[in-house]
């Protein structure tokens, strides 16, 4: 069956390291130390992206009926490796070491029951 080419598989993997991402320089220093300067951007970010994708295919012809089936699955992760952050920021508010776009800070969920 494999020699007739009715089954196929593709595998792709990637790793990308992005340096010198433009980020705002505000919030690095508190206002008491001159942190209220005009907005500017600096090359201060570094992010890694990695992942893979697998594609499985099947095609066959039965009499006059021909069909194709294709499925894929993928996985990817990104992580902020370096960000221009104040050293006085608590760990739960830092973006370095977290996923891009991940919410940071304290989060609460409220469950309300109405009778």
| Extents of the domains making up the chain | 7-93
Q: Does residue 34 come out as left (phi exceeding 0), alpha (psi in the -120 to 50 range) or beta?
A: left
Q: What is the spatial distance between Cα 20 and Cα 9, in angstroms, rounded to a whole number?
A: 37
8 Å CB contact between 13 and 52: yes
| Per-position DSSP letters for the chain, written without gaps between them | -TTTT-EEEEEEEEEEEEEEEEEE-TTSS-GGGTTTSPP-EEEEEEEEEEEEEEEEEEEEEETTEEEEEEEEEEEEEEEEEE----TTS-GGG--TTS-TT---S----------
Whole-number pLDDT of residue 25: 66
Higher pLDDT among residues 110 and 102, named by residue: 102
Which tens digit of pLDDT belongs to each residue from 32-90? 666 666 667 777 788 999 999 999 999 988 889 999 999 999 999 999 888 877 777 77
Q: What is the spatial distance between Cα 47 and Cα 108, in angstroms, rounded to a whole number?
A: 28
Identify the band that residue 9 occupies on the pLDDT scale cut at 50, 70 and 90: very high
Claim: this prediction has a pTM higher than 0.75: no
């Amino acid at each position: 069956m494999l020699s007739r080419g009715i089954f196929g598989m593709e595998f792709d993997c990637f790793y990308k390291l992005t340096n010198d991402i433009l980020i705002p320089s505000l919030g690095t220093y508190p206002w008491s130390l001159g942190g209220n300067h005009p907005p500017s951007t600096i090359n201060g970010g570094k992010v890694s992206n990695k992942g893979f994708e697998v594609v499985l295919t099947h095609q066959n012809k039965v009499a006059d009926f021909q069909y194709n089936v294709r499925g894929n699955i993928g996985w990817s992760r990104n992580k902020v490796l370096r960000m221009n952050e104040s050293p006085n920021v608590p760990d739960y508010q830092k973006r370095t070491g977290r996923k891009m776009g991940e919410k940071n800070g304290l989060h609460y969920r409220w469950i309300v029951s109405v009778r």
